[in-house]
Amino acid sequence: MKLKNKVVVVTGAGSGIGKELTLALLEKGAKVVAVDLREESLLALKELVGERSKYLSIHVVDISDKNAVEKLPETINKEVGEIDGIINNAGIIQPFVKVKDLDYEAITRVMNVNFYGTLYMVKAFLPHLLKRPEAYIANVSSMGGFLPVPGQSVYGASKAAVKLLTEGLYAELKDTNVKVSVIFPGATETNISKNSGIDSSHFSSDSSKPTIKMLPASEAARLIVAGIENNTPQIFLGKDSKMMSFLYRFSPVFATNLIAKQMKSLLPK
């Protein structure tokens, strides 16, 4: 779907990939509806885009609140016009601990934001998207959605749910005007830990260990936009995501052991 003159909703738009997606979409000539939990982030985003703010609509919404999400399509329609696409980017990680040490409050929060938030957005907007000449749903899963990551097992479960939900939508909507993509970011430069309320002070600081080269959020956004414009069903962000997808399909046990070894230093003893 070519994005020029389209109205696209982006969740988690106040920072990280979401902010860069907003900028990239505006560059493409789209109108962007930026949704985020943090009003200060949205106001900063509006200031950042300057003159292009006339093509930007900001909405403070908790996507894990079903009632709030269900009101969004009508609100946006009145303010901006018919919606042509949604990019479900908002997400949080869990504390870097094993399942046995993860409390139920954190588990519920991760599932509510990552899976239910995405599901609420899809359910709220899909009836409207089906009425458009062409439309798009892009859901951000994770490399952790197809590969088990120790210390992020529940986060991975939430993103695996997003993966299968999106792939199911792709199959269900194949003969409609609505195209669907699932997105798999690898290691990306964002402030997701801070926004998730995660204390990362216990991470290993051993400089002798090899560091993972992270994909800039701006490059991640560019790849997502290109994938949408090319109607790409699966969008992999970063060499690590592509490589681990291949390894996991080729040898799940080998890939699992490899990532477990790499993550070992990040987990509390």
pLDDT tens digits, 204-243:
334 334 456 789 999 999 999 999 999 999 999 999 999 9
**pLDDT (0 to 100) of residue 267:** 79
Going from the N-terminus, what domains does the chain have, and what CATH number goes with each? 7-196+204-266 (3.40.50.720)
DSSP 37: S
pLDDT, the chain, mean: 92
pLDDT tens digits, 165-208:
999 999 999 999 999 999 999 999 866 555 545 544 444 334 33
Taking alpha carbons only, the member of 86, 82, 81, 60 closest to residue 8 is: 86
Tokens of 33: 């509806």
Least confident of 28-42, 77-91, 203-217, 244-258: 203-217
- Active site residues per annotation: 155
pLDDT tens digits, 35-61:
999 999 999 999 999 999 999 999 999
Q: How far apart are the first and last CA of the chain?
A: 48
The pLDDT of residue 18 is above 70: yes
66-98 core/surface letters (b: 16 or more CB in 10 A; e: else): bebbeebbeebeeebeebbbbbbbbbbbbbbbe
Calculated CA dihedral for residues 82, 85, 89, 91, nearest 10 degrees: 60
